[in-house]
Structure 1
Amino acid sequence: MSERTANLMAAMLRLLCAVLLTVAVTGAHADEDYLPPQEAFKFSASMKDAASVEVRFAIAKGYYMYRERFGFAAEGARLGTPQIPPGKVKFDETFQKDVETYRDAVTVTLPVDASGAFTLKVASQGCADKGLCYAPMESVAKLDTRLVPASASAGLAGASTGEMGRIEAALKSGKLLVIVPLFLVLGLGLAFTPCVLPMVPILSSIIVGEGTGIGRKRAFILSLAYALGMALVYTALGIAAGLVGEGLAAALQQPVFLAGFAVLMVAFALAMFDVYQLQMPAFIQNRLLQASGKQAGGKLLGVFAMGAISALIVGPCVAAPLAGALIYISQTRDVLVGGGALFAMAVGMSIPLLLVGISAGTLLPRAGAWMVEVKRFFGVLMLAMALWMVSPLLSVKMQMLGWALLAGGYGAFLLWSRKAGWLAKACGLVFALLGVLQMTGVATGATDPLAPLAKLRGTEVRHVEFRRVKSLAELEAALAQAQGKVVMFDFYADWCVSCKEMERFTFTDARVQAQFDQMVLLQADVTANNDDDKALLKRFRLFGPPGIIFFDKQGQEIPGGRVIGFQNAERFLQALERVNQI
Structure 2
Amino acid sequence: MFALFVLALLPAVSGAAVDEDDLLPVDEAFALVASAPQRDRIELTWTIAKGYYLYRHRMNAQPTDAAFKATALQLPAGEKHTDEFFGEVETYRDRVDAILIGTVAVDAERVTLKVKYQGCADLGVCYPPQTRTVTIPLPKAPQGSDGGLAALGRRLGPGGGAPLAGVSTDANEPLPLPPEQAFGFEAIASDGNTLLLRFTPARGYYLYRDRTQLELIQPRNEPNKTPAIALERPRWPRGVSHRDEHFGDVVVYFDRIDVPLPLRRTRPGAETVTLSAIFQGCQNEGICYPPMTRTVRVTVPAGRVDANAALAGAAADPASQASNGGTARQNPGRVATAVAPAGSDIGAEADSAQADPAAQAEDSRIASALAGSNRWWTLLGFFGAGLLLAFTPCVLPMIPILSGLIAGQGTRIGTRRALVLSLVYIVANALVFTVAGVVAGLVGANLQVAFQTPWVIVAFSLLFLALALSSFGLYELQLPAVMRARLGSISDKQRGGSLPGVAAMGALSALIVGPCVAPPLAAAVLYIGQTHDPVLGGAALFLLAMGMGVPLLAFGAAAGRGMPTSGPWMTAAQRVFGFVFLALAVWMLSRILPAPVSLGLYGLLALAAAAWAFSAAGPDNRRIRVLARFAGMVLTLLGAAELLGALGGGRDPLQPLAGILRGGDEMRELPFRKIKSSQDLDREISAAQAQGKPVLFDFYADWCVSCKEMEKYTFTEPSVHTALADFVLLKADVTANDDVDQALMRRFGIIGPPATLYFYDGLERRELRLIGFEKAPGFVTRARRAAGENR
**2:573 matched to 1:377?**
no
Aligned-partner Cα distance in 2 for 1:358–1:452: 34
Alignment of 1:406-445 (within 5 A): 406-419=605-618, 421-445=625-649
How has the CA–CA distance of structure 1 residues 447 and 488 changed in structure 2, closer, same or farther, with 3 Å as cutoff? Answer: same
Counterpart CA distance in 2 for 1:536 and 1:410 is: 44
Name 1:561's counterpart in structure 2: 768
| Mapped pair 1:68 → 2:274 | no
Residues 120, 140 of structure 1: 8 Å contact kept: no
Among 370, 373, 394, the alignment partner of 1:195 is 394
Query: What is the deviation of 1:238?
Result: 0.8
Deviation at 1:418, TM superposition (A): 4.1
Corresponding residue for 2:697?
A: 489
1:446 match: 650
Which residue in the other structure is 1:121 paired with? 271
Alignment partner for residue 507 of structure 1, among 708, 711, 715?
A: 715
Change over 3 Å in CA distance of 1:81–1:223 after alignment to 2: closer
Distance 1:82-1:561 versus aligned 2 partners, 3 A rule: closer
Q: 1:226 to 1:473 in 2, by over 3 A?
A: same
- Maintained 8 Å contact 1:243/1:333: yes
Distance 1:273 1:74, change over 3 A: same
* Residue of structure 2 aligned with 1:570, choices 777, 783, 791: 777
1:369-428 deviations in Å (ceiling 9; x for gaps): 222222111110100001111112211221111011000111122124442621121111
Give the letter aligned to residue 742 of structure 2.
K
Moved more, 303-312 or 160-169: 160-169
Partner Cα separation in structure 2 for residue 369 and residue 80 of structure 1:
68
- Cα distance between partner residues in 2 of 1:376 and 1:416: 12
Cα deviation for residue 292 of structure 1 reads: 5.1
Distance 1:122 1:351 in 2: 49
- Normalised by the size of structure 2, how large is the TM-score? 0.57
Asked whether 1:400 is paired with 2:400, we answer no
Q: Secondary structure at the match of 1:68?
A: strand
1:401, 1:77 → 2: CA distance?
Answer: 54
* Distance change (3 Å), C-alpha of 1:209 and 1:290: closer
**Alignment-derived partner of residue 547 in structure 1:** 755
Matched-pair contact (CA < 8 Å) for 1:507–1:569: yes
Match of 2:676 among 470, 490, 508: 470
| Within-5 A mapping of 1:107-256 | 107=264, 121=271, 137-138=301-302, 152=320, 160-161=359-360, 163-173=362-372, 175-256=374-455
Quote the Cα distance in structure 1 between the aligned partners of 2:218 and 2:487: 57
Amino acid at match of 2:396: L
Name 2:551's counterpart in structure 1.
352
Structure 1: any 5+ residue segments left out of the alignment? Answer: 1-62, 91-96, 111-118, 124-134
d(CA) in 2 for partners of 1:146, 1:87: 26
Whole-angstrom distance in 2 between the partners of 1:530 and 1:153? 31
User: Residue in 2 aligned with 1:116?
Assistant: none
| One-letter amino acid of the structure 2 residue matched with residue 470 of structure 1 | K
Offset of residue 536 of structure 1: 1.0
Amino acid at match of 1:320: P
Q: Identify which of 547, 555, 563 aligns with 1:364.
A: 563
Equivalent-residue separation in structure 2 for 1:465 and 1:471 (angstroms)? 19
Q: Find the aligned partners of 1:101 and 1:188 in 2 and give their Cα distance.
A: 44
Report the Cα distance in structure 1 between the residues aligned to 2:506 and 2:482, rounded to whole angstroms.
23
The one-letter amino acid paired with 1:305 is: A
Structure 2 Cα separation of the partners of residues 140 and 77 of structure 1: 23
Aligned residues: 489
What is the CA deviation profile of residues 478-533 of structure 1, one whole-angstrom value per residue up to 9, with x for unaligned ones? 11222222211000011111101111111111111222222111000111111211
User: How far apart, CA to CA, are the structure 1 residues paired with 2:302 and 2:217?
Assistant: 10
Aligned to 1:518: 726
Equivalent-residue separation in structure 1 for 2:230 and 2:466 (angstroms): 62
Asked if structure 1 preserves the Cα contact closer than 8 Å seen for 2:707 and 2:754, the reply is yes
Q: Post-superposition shift, 1:182? A: 1.2
CA distance in 2, matches of 1:372, 1:521: 53
Distance 1:576 1:338 in 2: 31
Quick check: 2:617–2:629 contact (8 Å CA) kept in 1? no
Give the aligned partner of residue 83 of structure 1.
231
3-state SS of paired residue (2:702): coil
Task: Give the AA of the match of 1:271.
Answer: S
Q: Distance in 2 between matches of 1:148 and 1:494?
A: 30
1:318 and 1:85 map into 2 onto residues whose CA distance is: 37
Equivalent residue letter for 1:180? L
Name the CA distance, whole Å, in 1 between partners of 2:674 and 2:371. Answer: 35
Name the structure where helix makes up a greater proportion of residues: 1
**Does 2:736 align with 1:528?**
yes
**Residues of 2 paired with 1:535 and 1:397: CA distance?**
32
More divergent stretch after superposition (70-79 vs 503-512): 70-79
> Distance between the aligned counterparts of 2:438 and 2:530, measured in 1?
12
Does the C-alpha gap of structure 1 residues 159 and 282 become closer, same or farther in structure 2, counting only changes over 3 Å? farther
* 8 A Cα contact 1:152 1:559, kept in partner: no
Residue type of the partner of 2:271? K
Displacement, 1:332?
1.1
Q: Secondary structure at the residue paired with 2:731?
A: strand
CA drift of 1:550 comes to 0.5
CA distance in structure 2 between the aligned counterparts of 1:462 and 1:318, rounded to whole angstroms: 26
Corresponding residue number in structure 2 for 1:273 = 472
- Say if 1:280 and 1:108 are closer, same or farther in 2 by CA, change over 3 A: closer
Identity %: 42
Aligned counterparts of 2:360 and 2:316: Cα–Cα separation in 1: 19
For structure 2, list consecutive stretches of 5 or more residues without a partner in the other structure.
1-190, 198-213, 239-256, 274-298, 323-354, 619-623
Aligned residue type for 1:578: R
Structure 2 match to 1:93: none
Residue 465 of structure 1 aligns with an amino acid whose one-letter code is P
RMSD (Å), alpha carbons: 3.6
Distance 1:360 1:303 in 2: 15
Amino acid aligned to 1:533: D
Letter in 2 for 1:559: R
Residues 505 and 343 (structure 1 numbering): CA distance in 2 closer, same or farther, change over 3 Å? same
Matched, 1:316 2:520: no
Structure 1 pair 173/122, CA: closer, same or farther in 2 (3 Å)? farther
Task: Tell me, in whole angstroms, the C-alpha distance in 1 between the residues paired with 2:428 and 2:229.
Answer: 50
Query: Cα offset for 1:162?
Result: 5.8
In structure 2, C-alpha distance between the alignment counterparts of 1:414 and 1:149, rounded to whole Å: 60
Letter in 1 for 2:233: P
The CA deviation string for residues 318-353 of structure 1, in whole angstroms up to 9 with x for no partner, is 111111111111111111111111111111111111
Question: Does the CA contact (< 8 Å) of 1:270 and 1:276 recur in 2?
Answer: yes
Contact persistence 1:68–1:100 (CA under 8 A): yes
> What is the Cα deviation at residue 139 of structure 1?
6.2
SS at match of 2:590: helix
Q: Rate the CA distance shift 1:455–1:295 in 2: closer, same or farther, 3 A.
A: closer
Per-residue Cα deviation, 1:244-282 (whole angstroms, up to 9, x for no partner): 112322210111111111111111111111111111233
1:151–1:556 Cα contact (<8 Å) kept = no
1:161 Cα deviation from its structure 2 partner: 3.6
Which is further off, 339-348 or 555-564?
Answer: 555-564
Measure the CA separation in 2 of the matches of 1:72 and 1:120: 16
The residue type equivalent to 1:107 in the other structure is R
Query: How far apart in 1 are the matches of 2:754 and 2:234?
Result: 40
Q: Which has the higher strand share?
A: 2
Equivalent in the alignment of 1:264: 463
